[in-house]
Amino acid sequence: MTIRQSNRKCLTIASNNTAVGRLCSRILSEAAENQYSEDHLFAIHLALEEALMNAAKHGNEMDPNKEVAVEYTITPEKLEISIADQGRGFDPGTLPDPRSEENLYKYGGRGVLLMRSYMDVVEFNEKGNCVYMVKYRAKKT
């Protein structure tokens, strides 16, 4: 789950909507500069919003004293990002399937499904407080 590229960017953001929005805009603009398609940008945007808001809201519980650590690289070939929060983590294997009949009318629980659907790689660390995602530019969505 380590990003090894030399042009890796590391930063931390506050656990709030404004910081998440700013970071999404920054990453999307860099992806656009690398000629990612509109479909790819939509996919990356959705996965980023879901992952960053999971970290800020569910991981850090919007605690102003907790930060979200982000590492990413964007090349013409792929976008790689890891997002870590300071929460207790969770076991993604125990997440109920939001598409099953008993969960279809639940208000939440669709974020990880969307991340997995729109990114090519989605992996969590053992503790469940860090997600690593990859989107390949050459792959059609």
14 binds other proteins (CB under 8 A): no
Site for other proteins (CB under 8 A): which residue of 111, 129, 132, 133? 111
Reported as half-sphere exposure (CB side, CA atoms, 13 A), residue 5 has a value of 17
61 binds other proteins (CB under 8 A): no
107 binds other proteins (CB under 8 A): yes
Only one of the segments 3-11, 80-88, 98-106, 123-131 lies at the binding site for other proteins (rule: CB under 8 A); that segment is: 98-106
42 binds other proteins (CB under 8 A): yes
Question: Would you list the DSSP string of 6-41?
Answer: TT-EEEEEESSHHHHHHHHHHHHHHHHHTT--HHHH
